[in-house]
Amino acid sequence: MRLGNAALPTLTDKCRLPAYDRAALEPGIVHVGVGAFHRAHQAVYTDDAIEAAGGQWGTVGISLRSDTAAKQLNAQDGLFCVGSRDGTGEKLRAIGNLKHVITAPLDPAKARSVLADPRVRVVTLTITEKGYCLDPATGDLLEGHEDLRHADDPALPPQSAIGYLVDAIRARRAAGTAPFTVVSCDNLPSNGSRLHRALTQYAARSDEPLAHHIDTDIACPETMVDRIVPATTPNDLERIEALLGYRDAGYVKTEPFSQWVIEDRFSADVPAWDKAGALIVPAVGPFETAKLRLLNGPHSAIAYLGYLAGFEYVHEVMANPALKRYVEELMSVEIMPAVDPPPGLDLERYARELRQRFENPALEHRTWQIAMDGSQKLPQRLLNTIRRRIREGQDYERLALAVAAWLVYAAGTGLDGKAIDVRDPLAETTAGFGKTANGSATVLVERFLTLKTVFGDDLVENRDFARTLEQQAGRLLEHGILDTLEQAA
Ligand code: CS2
């Protein structure tokens, strides 16, 4: 038996239930990318906001690629449980605001019409870094990107999130419908501005007045989103089914911690997310930079070094003394001095609490999961921090070690000689680098430093950066992870 509306009355003592009338909820939000992160983050804030202040804030989900989310959620009336887990157990909660999920490639007309619906005032996005079709180094739309191929002709169906949004903005404008706010909830640097620029650039390819309308009337607030949400496993689903007595194919597990900082910039009304604990502020930049550099940077370092050292989970990496010390020093010696914290944020404490979150054994967060899409993540997580240290004349050996570990990982062969299942838009290219290098750190670094979309013109041309990277890659290839870290100590 699947979870669904009919199951709710039997679940009162097993999980917290939505405290509002779900049946009466009309759509007010479209969310693109209804994956685990959305369910454990924005969906929870929206449920809390509805409970605190009401409002017609039902969510319609859109998937741009597969029908996985539609299959998981439509058969259970859009209901799903979020389990927040730590060493002391799990708190379960059923989330009620999702109405249904549309798979855009299977039903583009339906996706287009819900985005044009006048009741919809907010579109939120979790489409991952690569979903924006941007050059990660510059933030411009990538020329020649496969998913942008219909950008020049509005008569052709959109293929990307940006395409669907521009299409909807065009339709709403033609119909005299008020503009919506578009909220990026991905870990891009200046996510709101990048999104806004992408929308404007896309529209400008076919329709200058529309580009102007986007520029002046469509608000894309900057946000900082934070909650660790590992992929759900078959074991998790079994566990929850045994507990609930129903199959919840949409279940997601997460940590108790959650944070959302949103720039106070909206085209229309939004749910009372502030009453749900979100911070609405004039400037998100300092929060975002602190999070990208101090959480996501070390997360990626843990992923590449940890995977190459043979660790499956983040908490196992943190339980290894050499790696733990490396992570502590990476944060305190190299990253913290390169972060200007928002007023009131105690960086020491922030860093300490981040490490405690990484140590949470109940999450079983795979290093392989975080290692995905490194070519899209490295610039904002590690390279911008390196840039700042270079500017300030400081060294960056630990940061470079993490980047070197990405090179080795993305080249496709582990230090144990086994093939790595690298998931990245550049996976083919970087596997080619690995073959050419054939174990030589010099060649490996030389090849990778042709990737301007990752390293930008400045780092590609920086001799000292190349030398440091080569040194670190050489040490990893020659001595392995743990011996390299021991030697550095
Ligand atoms: C992680 C993030 O998979 C990854 O790349 O670093 O998803 C991380 O868990 C979140 O940003 C935490 O807020």
Q: Residue 129 carries which DSSP code?
A: G
Q: State the average pLDDT over residues 369-384.
A: 98
* 223-226, strands of its sheet edge to edge: 223-226, 259-263, 279-281
Residue 33: C-alpha distances to residues 187, 193, 252, 423 (Å): 14, 20, 14, 18
pLDDT at 9 over 90: yes
Torsion sign, CA atoms 425, 426, 428, 431: negative
Task: For residue 24, report the distance from its CA to the centre of ligand 1, in Å.
Answer: 34
CB-ligand 1 contact for 187 (6 Å cutoff):
yes
Mean pLDDT confidence for 56-79: 98
Taking only the tens place, the pLDDT of each residue in 276-335 is: 999 999 999 999 999 999 999 999 999 999 999 999 999 999 999 999 999 999 999 999
Mean pLDDT of 446-454: 97
Q: Which domains does the chain have, with CATH numbers?
A: 5-281 (3.40.50.720), 285-488 (1.10.1040.10)
Nearest to 437 by CA among 464, 476, 463: 476
Residue 210 host element (H or E):
helix 208-217
- Residue closest to 299 by CA, chosen among 270, 338, 335: 335
Residue with the nearest Cα to atom 10 of ligand 1? 228
Helix (H) or strand (E) holding 82: strand 80-86
CB 157 within 8 A of CB 150: yes
Q: Is the CB of 299 under 6 A from ligand 1?
A: yes
22-34 pLDDT per residue, tens: 999 999 999 999 9
C-alpha of residue 231 to centroid of ligand 1, in Å: 11
Cα–Cα distance, 402 to 409 (Å, whole number): 10
Predicted TM-score (pTM) of the model is 0.97
Percent over 70 (pLDDT), the chain: 100
Q: Which of 37, 187, 292 to mutate for ligand 1's pocket (most ligand atoms within 8 Å of CB)?
A: 187
Banded pLDDT at 488 (limits 50, 70, 90): confident
Cβ atoms of 305 and 358 within 8 Å: the answer is no
What b/e string do you get for 42-81 counting C-beta neighbours within 10 Å, with b at 16 or more?
bbbbbbbbbebeebebbbbbbbbeebebbebbbebbbbbb
Largest CA distance in the chain: 66
Best mutation site among 184, 358, 370 for ligand 1, i.e. most ligand atoms within 8 A of its Cβ?
370
pLDDT tens per residue across span 116-163: 999 999 999 999 999 999 999 999 999 889 999 888 899 888 999 999
Phi, psi values for residue 420, rounded to 5°: -105, 140
Q: Give the pLDDT of residue 211.
A: 98
Residue among 133, 87, 109, 102 nearest 30 (CA): 102
Average pLDDT (369-379) is 98
Q: Residue 387 and residue 399: Cα distance in Å, rounded?
A: 11
| Residue of the CA atom closest to atom 3 of ligand 1 | 370
Mean pLDDT, residues 54-81 taken together: 98
Q: Which ligand 1 atom lies nearest to the CA of residue 229?
A: 9
Residue 370, ligand 1, Cβ within 6 A? yes
Residue 92: is its pLDDT beyond 90?
yes
Contact present, 129 and 376 (Cβ < 8 Å): yes
Q: Which long-range contacts (CB under 8 A, 24 or more apart) does 103-110 make?
A: 103/62, 103/63, 103/66, 103/67, 103/69, 103/70, 104/62, 104/63, 104/64, 104/164, 105/64, 105/65, 106/67, 108/157, 108/158
Compute the distance from residue 30 Cα to the ligand 1 centre, in Å.
23
Q: Is 128 in the pocket of ligand 1 (CB under 6 A)?
A: no
Calculated CA dihedral for residues 270, 133, 306, 405, nearest 10 degrees: -140
| CB 127 within 8 Å of CB 64 | yes
How much distance in Å is there from the Cα of 188 to the middle of ligand 1?
11
pLDDT digits over 417-429, tens only?
999 999 999 999 9
Q: How far is the CA of 225 from the centre of ligand 1 (A)?
A: 9
> Quick one: which atom of ligand 1 is closest to the CA of 225?
13
The pLDDT tens digits for 255-282 are: 999 999 999 999 999 999 999 999 999 9
Ligand 1 centroid, distance to 400 Cα (angstroms): 20
Q: Which atom of ligand 1 is least distant from the CA of 226? A: 13
Residue 296 Cα to ligand 1 midpoint, Å, equals 6
- How is residue 181 written in tokens? 């706010």
Q: Which of 225, 258, 259, 295 most suits a substitution to test ligand 1, by most atoms within 8 Å of the C-beta?
A: 295
| pLDDT given at position 207 | 96
For ligand 1, say whether the CB of 223 is within 6 Å of any of its atoms.
Answer: no
365 touches ligand 1 (CB under 6 Å):
no
* 374 CA to centre of ligand 1 in angstroms: 12
CA atoms within 13 A of residue 461's CA, in its CB half-sphere: 3
Residue written as token pair 């309308």: 213
pLDDT value at 489 more than 90: no
If you take atom 13 of ligand 1, which residue's CA is the nearest one? 226
What's the pLDDT tens digit per position in 239-260? 999 999 999 999 999 999 999 9
Q: What is the 3-state secondary structure (H, E, C) of 310-351?
A: CCCEHHHHHCCHHHHHHHHHHHHHHHHHHCCCCCCCCHHHHH
350-363 pLDDT, tens digit each: 999 999 999 999 99
Please, are residues 25 and 57 in contact by the beta-carbon 8 Å criterion?
yes
Closest residue by CA, ligand 1 atom 4: 370
Helix 397-410 to helix 463-488 angle, to the nearest 10 degrees? 100
At residue 144, the 3 state secondary structure works out as coil
Q: How many CB atoms are located within 10 Å of the residue 466 CB?
A: 18
Q: What is the CA(295)–ligand 1 centre distance, in A?
A: 8
